[in-house]
Every structure is written in C-alpha cells, then in structure tokens.
A and B are shown apart, each in its own frame.
Chain A
Amino acid sequence: MELGLIAIGAGLAVGFTAFGTGYAQGRIGAAGAGAIAEKPEVTGRIILLVAIPETMVILGFAVAAMIMLLLPGG
C-alpha cells in the first residue's frame, strides 16, 4: 500500500509539472509561430524561447526521482 502511494505521488509530481510545461510551451509556441511567420530570421531565438519552460518538468522529474529514492525507507 505504502509503495503504491509513493508511486502515485511520484507519478503526480511528473504529471502536473508536465501539464504546466505543456500549457506554457503551447502558448509560447503559438505566439512564436506568429512571430516566425512575420520575420523568419528570429526562428532560432523562438525555438530557444519555446524550450525555456522545460525546467518545470525536469524539476518535477527530479522531485519524482527523490520520492522514489528517498521515501521507501520502511
């Protein structure tokens, strides 16, 4: 039971952060597509801007990893 709850906790950690990242990158991507359509030379910077919110899901992964590693003490 304990292990199941720990696993659910880890899954929620990644799941919610992934949702946040997806929402953020979706908005940035839509705006970026508009910017590229008007001025194609900013493509590189727009791709970079789209990749910036990735931090959220990576920290979510880190938390999930910590949950899986550090909690099963009992």
Chain B
Amino acid sequence: MNALLGRMQVNPIALPESLQNVPFQDALARIHQRLEEIPQRLAAIDAQLQEAAKRHRARWLGALQALERRLEQLRARQRLAETQHTFVLAGWLPRERLDALRQTLDARLPGALVIQELPPSPEEARNAPVLLTGNRFTRPFHFFIQLLALPRYGTIDPTALMALFMPLFFGLMLGDIGYGLSLLIIVLLARRRLAPGSGLRDLMTFLLIGSLWTVVFGVIFGEFFGDLGRHRFGLHPLWMERSEPDALAPLLLFTIALGAMHIVLGLLLGVWQAWHLHQRHELWERAGKLVGLIGLFLLIGVIARQLPAGWMTPALAAVIVGLAMLIYGLGSVGALLAPVELLGALGNVLSYLRLAAIGLASVYLALVGNLMVGKMGVVWLGVLIALLFHALNLAMGAFSPSIHALRLHYVEFFTKFYEEGGQPFQPFGA
C-alpha cells in the first residue's frame, strides 16, 4: 500500500486528534464545515484588528514621529564637542542657504551663536554630501540618478543631458503617432492619481515627455499604428517608413551615428571633468579613447569607400596616437589593456544599434497586427485580434524602450565620465 502511494507520489495525511475515532464520512463532513467557518473567523479577527488600528493610529504615528525626532537630536548631540558652557558643531549646508540659517538662528537665539563658513579641503570636498539641484524639467530625472548612485561632489551632474536624450531615444524606438498619443492619454490620466515627488510619478513624467517625442518620430517615420496610417489615411513619412526593406541600412547608420555622437559627447565631458579635477591618468585615458575612436571612424569610412583613400594615413595615425595616449593613461598594464579599451569604446557605439533593432521589432509587430484584420474571415474578430496585438505592443513599447534608453545612459554614456560614490545630503530635522 505504501509502495503504491510512493509511486503515485501521494503524501498520506493523518487526521487531527479530535477526529481520530470518528467514522470517515462524518469526519469529512466536519472538515468541510470547519473549512467554511475558518475564513469567516479570520475575516472577523481582521476587522477587529483594523478597528483597533484605526482607533490608535493617530496617537501611534505622533508618538513615532516624536521619538524619531528625539533620536535624531540625540544622535546629533554625539557629534557636538561640548563643555559645560559652550559647544562646537560642524556641518554641511548649501551655500545659498547660509544667510537664511544665520537669520533664523539670530532671530531665535540673538547673540548666542557664532556661525563661521569653513571652505572644505580638497579631500573633504571629494566626500562632501551631494544635493542635486534642477528645475522642473530635470527634477523628474533625479529619480534615475538616485536609482544608480549619486555623483561625487564636484563632478558633472548629467541630469540635464539625460532629460534631453532619454526621452529622445525612447521616442526614436517607439516612433508611432498612434502609440504616442495612446501613451500620452494613459500617462496623463495616471499622473493625476500619483503624489508629486514619488518615484512612480517621475517615471510617468519621463513617459510623458517620451510620448511627445514618440509622436514626433511617428511623424518622421510616417507610422500610425504601424502601416494603418499609410493604408487608411495616406500618411506619408517625412523621412522613410521603417518597415520597408531598404529603410534598414539608413536606420542602422543613423543609430550608429547617434551613438557615436553620444559617446563622443560623453568622452568630451569626461576629458573636461578630468582636466578640471586634475586627474592626469583619466585625462590621458579618455583623450586617448576619443582620438582613437575618431581614428577608427575615419578608418571605417575609408574602408567603406565613403572617404577618399588619402584619409587612410591620418586615420591610422589617429588610431596609433590614441592608443599611445591610452597606454600612457592606463599605467603599467597599458600596452595590453589599451587595444581592449579602444575596442570596448567601439563596442559601446555599436550598442546603440539597439535603437534601430527595438524600433523595428515594434514596427513589425504592429504590421503583423494590422495584417491579422485581413486574414481572419470575420471582420470583427480580426479587428479584435489587431487591437490585442496593438495593446500588447504598446505595453511592451512603454517598458522595453525605457529600460534600454536607461541602460544606454548608465552603461555606455555614464562610464565615460560619471563618478559614483556621492553621499546624499540629509539635512538635520528635515
């Protein structure tokens, strides 16, 4: 018997104590009865818990906040240097708030305090806490910076560039007037319900700007729910239709060019930052990558016969000079690492091909969706399936291009200049 149970992979369960000596049918009936009673008991207990919580919630929250504030004060006191009659406190403050602090403290405790501004030493400045500033266009993108890591004090804050390029890449990938407008409506409706300052709302703001760029690129590519615009409304693209076979090469070249521009921008920022912070090795490394990359572009141009053959010598010279600068910047193992780093930079440029690839995937999916309408015998079934395809494409199209636009920034753009390790500025008593 046990062998049979084992083969069937059935676990024998023993009946509870109270039902051991009861005939099986009665036991079954009682178990069913308990199964119905128990969820009701649980619901009743849950309701009691909720009610108890509602009664005491306000008091508990108030007590919690008061205790947290007291804890913060006690922790701050640990950092004071105090004697019986006086104390010294050192802290960080954004310089523009210094006057307000002075005025507030003078109003509360006139003549009791001396406030002195101490300029930080270079080592202190590198580890200073970081407060990201921005206007209402860039503030939503602080969410993405905080997702990764804050920049160190004194290094470049790329939020403004991110605010420009990320929605642009998103729009380039999705590139459809119909999807753009649908996304715009959905995001506007969703934004109303979200509290300002929450991460989700920042994401919605990014999708809002992204959907506007999507409409722009939809006009450029002449796409309205795939080729529905072309068939029904005679929509013409400003540049080219992405679904045509001879649109593939221009699109790939365009995205590589966009990638090259973005990477070169990143390297220029990196060189400027390294020069500003007196970082010699990074400076040579990034300048070497820049020169080497430009040399590689010229070389590819000559090989592809886009440039006259006379450019071959300057191209090779640029590559060799770039490698030399890289070797100098990288130090002891430079000779081995330099070609790898240069090819890595080229690989980063090629990574921008995903702007074309993901866009084409979305276009072809929309195309298939539209074809479904004709292939089904019944019209309304075809329309229903087409709507499902487009809904799926919109859902994927909201998610995948944003992830890849973000990834392009983090992995390809930021590694050219970004320095992580910034500590967030957490003001006392906020």
- The chain A residues found within 8 Å of chain B, CB to CB, are 44-45, 47-48, 51-52, 54-55, 58-59, 61-62, 65, 68-69
Closest 3 CB pairs of A and B: A44-B147, A58-B354, A61-B357
Cβ of B248 within 8 Å of any chain A Cβ, yes or no, is yes
Q: Which residues on A sit within 8 Å (CB–CB) of B403? A: 47-48, 51
- A65 and B252 form a contact (CB under 8 A): yes
| CB proximity to A under 8 Å, residues B316-345 | none
Residue of A nearest to B411 (CB): A52
8 more A-B residue pairs beyond the given contacts A45-B148, A48-B147, A65-B248, with a C-beta to C-beta distance below 8 A: A48-B403, A51-B407, A52-B407, A55-B351, A58-B351, A58-B357, A61-B353, A61-B360
A selection of 18 A-B contacts at a CB cut-off of 8 Å is A47-B403, A51-B403, A52-B407, A52-B411, A54-B407, A55-B351, A58-B351, A58-B358, A61-B353, A61-B357, A61-B360, A62-B252, A62-B353, A62-B357, A65-B248, A65-B252, A68-B248, A69-B248
Instruction: Return the contact of B353 from the options A48, A51, A52, A58 (Cβ within 8 A).
Output: A58
Q: Which residues on A sit within 8 Å (CB–CB) of B406? A: 48
A62 to B351, CA, bound (A): 10
Main secondary structure of the interface of B (DSSP, over half): helix
Most B CB contacts (10 A, CB to CB) among A44, A48, A58, A65 go to A58
A69 to B251, CA, bound (A): 13
- A48 and B410 form a contact (CB under 8 A): yes
- B350 and A62 form a contact (CB under 8 A): yes
A48 to B411, CA, bound (A): 10
A24 to B38, CA, bound (A): 45
Q: Which residues on A sit within 8 Å (CB–CB) of B230? A: none
Q: Which residues on A sit within 8 Å (CB–CB) of B360? A: 61
| CB proximity to A under 8 Å, residues B210-263 | 248-249, 252
A48 to B409, CA, bound (A): 11
Report the minimum CB–CB distance from B380 to chain A (whole Å): 34
Cβ of B404 within 8 Å of any chain A Cβ, yes or no, is yes
Q: Which residues on B sit within 8 Å (CB–CB) of A61? A: 353, 357, 360
Residue of B nearest to A64 (CB): B357
As a 0/1 sequence over residues 388 to 425 of chain B, the CB contacts with chain A under 8 angstroms (1 = contact) are 00000000000000011011001100000000000000
A59 to B354, CA, bound (A): 8
A61 to B255, CA, bound (A): 14
Instruction: Return the contact of B249 from the options A47, A52, A54, A69 (Cβ within 8 A).
Output: A69
A68 to B404, CA, bound (A): 25
Given A55-B354, A59-B350, A61-B357: A48 in contact with B407 (beta carbons within 8 A): yes
Q: Which residues on A sit within 8 Å (CB–CB) of B351? A: 55, 58
Q: Which residues on B sit within 8 Å (CB–CB) of A68? A: 248
A66 to B341, CA, bound (A): 25
Q: Which residues on B sit within 8 Å (CB–CB) of A44? A: 147
